[in-house]
A and B are shown apart, each in its own frame.
Chain A
Amino acid sequence: MRRASTAADEPILRIRNLHLEFHDHGRPEVVVEDLSLTLHHGEILGIVGESGSGKSMTALAIAGLLNRHALDCGGEILFDGIDLLHCGRATLRRYQGDEISMIFQEPMTSLDPLQRIGMQVEEALRIHHKVLSAAERKEAAIRALGAAGLAEPEQVYAMYPHELSGGMRQRVMIAAATVSRPQILIADEPTTALDVTTQAQIIALLRRINDEDGTAIVFISHDLSLVRQLCHRVIVMRRGVVVETGSSDEVFLNPRHAYTQSLVDAIPKVVL
């Protein structure tokens, strides 16, 4: 659960010189090089870049989901004074799902087909807040489902994933990720698999979660117009390197780097 007061200017997440390198294909492959960023309380940070630019790897590193066997990692990811990159699995698990949550690109496969929605939304509470009774968990889950914009959350609670549409599943994912009111929500292309109107609703939902709960969001996307709408600050990545960073307005209205310029130029004008 959220700490009562975090100084507004103190970043809740600080990444210093993150370096990720794969070794599982013979020759080493650098996927993220010397990346540094800060995330402030209540901020929405966008990470944009083309496929293979290392934006998803950065997200997985923050979430602690990297397979540490096949990987060489340097630098540090500081959250709450702890280096998430090098701490033990047990320490990491304390934060995962409770303080740091993540939603994925593909809502169709992100839910366990054999478990009811309620069970899956409650999972974070079941793991991290063992003091809650079953009834309290259910109440919290239904509240989260409602807050994620699902009409009739009680019914959804008892349903199976195959009974829901893609947009509804993504809402369920968001409910599951926010049920324990995390400080950081990582959204890895959460709208890519959805149609445009659902996209807009999900974006509005993320903005509301940010507004109402003060949850900091790392929003990863290659859709620049969405990033422009949603994010306060933007990081542009290319081939594992940060090429530009700044406020959303700065980057989009005044791109300094040629690559950013070409990305901005690639946005269809009708949308902007």
Chain B
Amino acid sequence: MATIRTRSLLARIPNPRLFCVGALIMLAVIALIVVGMVWMPYEPTAMSPDRLQGVSAAHLLGTDKMGRDILSRVMYGSRITFLVALGTMAIGAGLGILIGSVTGYYGGLVDEVVMRVTDGLFAFPTVLLALVIVSLFGSSTLNVMWALGIAFVPSFIRVARSEVIRCKHLDYVKNARLMGVRDARVIFVHILPNVSGVVMSNVMIGFNNAVLSEAGLSYLGIGSQPPFASLGQMISEAQEIFFTVPSAVLGPGLVIVLMVLGFSLMGEGLRAAERRMA
């Protein structure tokens, strides 16, 4: 039963090659993170006299100007960045889909008000909005997650709302209402599964933006605070030693690129699905 299910799921992805390449890249990144949780070559915050070393057997990616092992810091930083991106999506997509589908389903005045507020939030660049929230509540990894999450809510409200509106007049939704099904069940059982394709590919794109925004924010010095590393912050710290220890920038940069690329490819593989269905 399970194998049939998986096979039919994969068969429903029209561009499985693209999706699989993306998934493989993501698996590599996740492997790096998981290994980092169990074992790291050095303590990521431990300083040593071996400063600014290049690539060597002892330090695969060299050391930074405080003698910390860059590979260890990349492993740790990827974990932070990944978790922040996940949390951001959970908050942004969760709230956005909930609000969007409910207001889209009921319409009327509340919908109008929510949409205007959303338009207002859209007027701010995402990072700027997150910056405001972080500077109000203080800079910490958790706050960055919330800030980015809230900044991402409007785009998900829009997507979920428009999809629900498209779907709510379809015959089978009418039919469900006719059966005396309660509204919550109509929305979550009869409508949302049918719009999940569009919403999911938006979540994937959103994840990318979350990775990049987190990296951007920590590059600006907001977010997880030194000595704990996140990828953007490592790049920011390493820019002055770029020519001495190039791997200090390239290491974390590569992981960011891989994360974004992996998710983009997966999302693209799913997106082609909609086009074919349409």
Contacts and interface: CB of A to CB of B under 8 A. Distances in A.
Interface string B4-29: 00000000000000000000000000
Contacts of A93: 180-182
Nearest to B181: A127
A124 B180 contact: yes
Interface stretch (B156-164, B170-178, B209-217): B170-178
A10 B193 CA distance: 44
B194 interface: yes
A104 B171 contact: yes
B106 to A, nearest CB: 10
A170 interface: no
B190 interface: yes
B177 A65 contact: yes
Q: In terms of DSSP, what is the predominant structure of the interface of chain A?
A: mixed
Contacts, number: 62
Interface in A157-211: 173, 176
Given A69-B108, A112-B194, A104 B175 contact: yes
A38 interface: no
A46 interface: no
B180 A109 contact: no
A97 B180 contact: yes
B179 A127 contact: yes
A98 interface: yes
A95 B194 contact: no
A112 B174 CA distance: 11
Q: In terms of DSSP, what is the predominant structure of the interface of chain B?
A: helix
B190 A112 contact: yes
Nearest to B176: A123
Interface in B180-226: 180-182, 185, 190, 193-194
Contacts of A242: none
Contacts of A176: 175, 179
Contacts of A64: 178
Nearest to A108: B171
A102 B194 contact: no
Contact of A111 (B108, B172, B182, B185): B172
Contacts of B181: 93, 97, 123, 127
B89 to A, nearest CB: 23
B194 A94 contact: no
Interface string A33-63: 0000000000000000000000000000001
A102 B190 contact: no
A113 B194 contact: yes
Contacts of B108: 69
A106 B172 CA distance: 10
Nearest to B174: A65
A109 B179 contact: no
Contact of B179 (A113, A115, A123): A123
A139 to B, nearest CB: 19
A114 B194 contact: yes
Contacts of B179: 96-97, 101, 123-124, 127, 176
A115 to B, nearest CB: 8
B177 A109 contact: no
7 contacts: A93-B180, A97-B180, A102-B178, A106-B171, A113-B194, A123-B181, A127-B179
Given A93-B182, A101-B178, A104-B174, 13 more contacts: A65-B178, A93-B180, A97-B179, A97-B180, A102-B178, A106-B171, A109-B171, A110-B172, A114-B193, A114-B194, A123-B176, A124-B180, A127-B179
Complex A-B, nearest 4 residue pairs according to Cβ-Cβ distance, in ascending order: A97-B179, A96-B180, A93-B180, A97-B180
